[in-house]
Amino acid sequence: MRKNLIILGSTGSIGRQTLEIVREFPREFKIIGLAGGRNFELLAKQVREFQPKFISIGLPLTSELTRGLTAGYSKVKILPLEKLAAQKCDLVVSAISGVAGLPPTLAAIRARNSVALANKESLVLAGKIVIAQAKKFGVKILPVDSEHSAVWQLLQKVPRDKVRRIILTASGGALRDTPLAEFSKISPQKVLRHPTWAMGAKITLDCATLANKAFEIIEAAHLFDFPLDKIEAVIHPQSFVHAMIETVDGNLFAQMSQPSMKLPISLALFDGVRQDDSVAPLDLVGRNLEFRKIEKARYPLFFTILAAAQKGGIFPAAAAASSEFWGQKFLAGEIAFPEIAKLTEKSLRKVSPKPASLKNILAVVNSFQ
């Protein structure tokens, strides 16, 4: 029986790579839903190719847009995003970028759909709620992030109670070797040129500030039910090692592979079952593996977000929403790169502590939109 899939964010980097795997395995998967944001031309093309039952688009629905989207397959029904995520299926790939990913992820879980989770922001904003709901509705949350896929794979080899530390790696982003003195003049174009991964704009910027790695530490704490202060990160420019786990006896186990999202996406789609040649093998002969400490002067936002995570309550959500807000201002050319961290820190000082109820989380997220 083919697995019925819904892909949220099908027009993005993870969404398109997921569809590449679906193309390779037509007997394994059937697309029943696709959701795009603003790229209606690509969504229309995907509708023609995959003929889903349902789609969603993040643009106001005019009759012209409806005609364009349904021209290639008139049976497709256009739904609001959360309704689409709640259609019965075997797996929802949650790959919308940013804080907008939380409501459809929760809608999918509440409809008893298992989730392949790329949208790390869902767990940063509302990790306890997302995990509790997944338990309540008996659905799986499968990691798509390469680091979390690595930890997931490593934890299948090592007993959980013998793990002392989880260590995630970070490429260091586009500015890892740029002199600090040049930071105030950095252009968005330079920041968006990632040295090892080809990804969407938000995550590429978050790699340069290392906000992404702080989010991933929070994500790992929720996914693996592991204490925040026992999850660390190091810079590893080659991006071959995705994560390591240290066991109580002093062993260090690492997962290594080419920097390609095809492997973690494939493992999530196939529920952990390995497929032949998901990525090209990694030949380490003649390669250097380098690891560096994360410096506060270069990556202040990493430390700000982790401090917010330690505070708990609505602070991680506020940190994700405010860094996203100021990040977009930088990408729009309205503020300088170092201002992202400074203004996020300033915004967080104005946030009053509140418990992490969904209502409080959505209120603080909306206050930054």
Ligand X SMILES: NC(=O)c1ccc[n+]([C@@H]2O[C@H](COP(=O)([O-])OP(=O)(O)OC[C@H]3O[C@@H](n4cnc5c(N)ncnc54)[C@H](OP(=O)(O)O)[C@@H]3O)[C@@H](O)[C@H]2O)c1
**Residues near ligand X, by CB under 6 A:** 9-15, 36-39, 58, 81, 95-97, 100-101, 118-121, 145, 197, 199-203, 261
Residue 10 vs 246, nearer CB to ligand X? 10
225 closest CA partner among 130, 103, 98:
130
Q: Which is nearer to ligand X, 100 or 361 (CB)?
A: 100
State the nearest-atom distance from the C-beta of 352 to ligand X, in Å.
Answer: 27
Q: How far is the CB of 247 from ligand X (least distance, A)?
A: 26
Q: Smallest gap, in angstroms, from Cβ of residue 81 to ligand X?
A: 6
CB of 164 to ligand X, least distance (A): 26
Minimum CB–partner distance for residue 66 and ligand X (Å): 16
Q: Dump the DSSP string for 327-369.
A: HHHHHTTSS-HHHHHHHHHHHHHTPPP----HHHHHHHHHTT-
Give residue for tokens 């005019």: 62
| Residue 348 phi, psi (nearest 5) | -65, -30
Q: How far apart are CA 131 and CA 109, in angstroms?
A: 10
Query: Is the Cβ of residue 173 or residue 246 nearer to ligand X in the bound state?
Result: 173
Q: Cα dist. 274→108, 262, 269, 296 in Å? A: 25, 12, 10, 38
Amino acid at 348: L
Instruction: Give whichever of 239 and 347 is closer to ligand X, judged by the CB atom.
Output: 239
Buried b (16+ CB within 10 A) or exposed e, 104-139: bbbbbbbbebbbbbbbbbbbbbbbebbbebbeeeeb
Inter-residue contact 51 to 74 (CB < 8 Å):
no
Find the residue with minimal CB distance to ligand X.
12
68 vs 158 by CB, closer to ligand X: 68
Nearer to ligand X, 33 or 200 (CB): 200
- Spatial neighbors of 207 by CB under 8 A, at least 6 apart, are 170, 171, 172, 173, 174, 194, 197, 199, 213
Shortest reach from residue 50's CB to ligand X, in Å = 14
Q: Return the beta strands (E) in 45-129 as ranges.
A: 54-57, 77-78, 91-94, 114-117
Nearest distance from C-beta of residue 363 to ligand X, angstroms: 18
Q: Which is nearer to ligand X, 80 or 158 (CB)?
A: 80
- Residue 155 to residues 19, 127, 275, 279: CA-CA distances in angstroms? 28, 20, 19, 21
Report the nearest approach of ligand X to the CB of residue 38 (Å): 4
CB of 148 to ligand X, least distance (A): 9
User: Cβ(279)–Cβ(296) under 8 Å?
Assistant: no
Distance (Å, rounded) from C-alpha 178 to C-alpha 182?
7
58 vs 338 by CB, closer to ligand X? 58
Identity of the residue, 97 or 347, whose beta carbon is nearer to ligand X in the bound complex: 97
Q: In sequence order, what are the residues at sequence separation of 6 or more whose Cβ sits closer than 8 angstroms to the Cβ of residue 333?
A: 188
